[in-house]
Homo-oligomer: A and B are copies of this chain.
Amino acid sequence: MHRNQLNFSGGPGALPDSVLQQVQQAVVELPETGLSVLGMSHRSSWFVDLLAQTEADLRALLQVPDDYSVAFLQGGSSLQFSMIPMNFSVPGAAAAEYVTTGYWSRKVLEEASRVGPMRVIWDGAASGYRALPSLDALDWDTRASFRHYVSNETVEGLQFPAVTDLPGSPLIADMSSDFMSKPFDVRAYGMVYAHAQKNLGPAGVTVTLIRNALLERTPDTLPPMLDYRTHIKHRSNYNTPPVFAIYVMAKVLHWIRDEIGGLDAMRDINSRKSAALYATLDGLREVVDCHAEKAARSMMNIAFRFKDARLDTLFKEKSTEAGLSGLGGHRSLGGMRASLYNAVSEQAVKRLTTFINEFAVRYA
């Protein structure tokens, strides 16, 4: 499959070539139905089976315990920001606690603060959002409704290490930009959610994993569409789901399982990719700065800039010409950002590191 550009975009991000080939066929005709995937009824047995199988595949890859429910929703992670306190705030409990580590965890507050009592337990503003706290060292209130953090800050390129056990109120993680990039222990969380458009599929579907006990908190006064129980009860098929996005996600899960070999192998590949890029950037530390402190570095997103800001502009121009797309930093931070999501291959990263070294020799 030929394509002119390699995709290092912060998201929606690259998808595997083998998935795109299957999708291309399905757009005209799904062999098993004789219809375009874009015109498949969400009540067809084909789609009902696809939903069930996709949930089963996700559960198997992540070893999701039986007492967790899975739902595929619309509205992106951004709609989760308000649905979470709508569903899980406990009247009379202490305020929900939020860890604020960058652009996205601050966006969470804008939505959540309209719904229920909350407090920021840690804020990285003083460091310019370059560092992360140790979650088990924070002064959590055990009476809080829940605790929330963002596992990977896409804009700043900061990533928390795996959480295995953090006693206290239910822990909720926005894993939008590192979900399915490595294994993690679902049991450590009350809820995990992630939109698909980094590691899992196209924009338009969001995965939620919820410990069933939490659902007992949901008030009966919510509109059914904003009540997690509705979507879980109807197996993600209450109103018309984004059929196409779920179909692509199903194919990406198969790719992780069958072509990559599962989440341990996925993590190993992702680890090698980011290590190679960080090594390149560290080798150029006299002319390049990485945004994140070393201990907080993300495997998924690497934000960097030249000490000479004029080189940032030139880098974006020359990298695009060289077929390396999406390397401009987020508009809130400037500089550059390389996103190394699951479907960015090791060969693609090799092309990027080679380009960076050649660029530095020539211009820096």
Contacts and interface: CB of A to CB of B under 8 A. Distances in A.
A37 B75 CA distance: 19
A17 B150 CA distance: 42
A115 to B, nearest CB: 6
Contacts of A117: none
Interface in A111-137: 111-112, 114-115
A145 interface: no
A16 to B, nearest CB: 10
A29 interface: yes
A241 B203 contact: yes
Contacts of A76: 74, 239-240
A334 interface: no
Interface in A302-347: 323, 325-326, 331, 343
Interface in A1-18: 1-5, 7, 9-15
**For chain A, what secondary structure do more than half of its interface residues adopt (helix, strand, loop), or is it mixed?**
loop
A78 to B, nearest CB: 4
A92 interface: no
Contact of A34 (B4, B14, B33, B343): B4
B115 A223 contact: yes
A39 interface: yes
Interface centre among A20, A221, A323 (most CB of B within 10 A): A20
Contacts of A221: 114
Interface of A: 1-5, 7, 9-15, 20-21, 23-24, 27-29, 33-36, 38-44, 74-79, 81-82, 110-112, 114-115, 195, 197, 201-204, 221-226, 238-245, 248, 323, 325-326, 331, 343
Given A4-B34, A34-B325, A82-B226, 20 more contacts: A5-B35, A7-B36, A12-B40, A21-B28, A24-B24, A24-B27, A24-B28, A38-B248, A39-B202, A44-B326, A74-B74, A74-B75, A77-B239, A111-B225, A114-B221, A195-B240, A202-B243, A202-B244, A203-B243, A204-B245
21 contacts: A4-B29, A4-B34, A4-B35, A9-B39, A9-B44, A12-B243, A20-B28, A27-B27, A38-B248, A74-B79, A74-B204, A78-B238, A78-B240, A82-B226, A110-B224, A111-B225, A114-B221, A114-B222, A195-B240, A203-B241, A242-B245
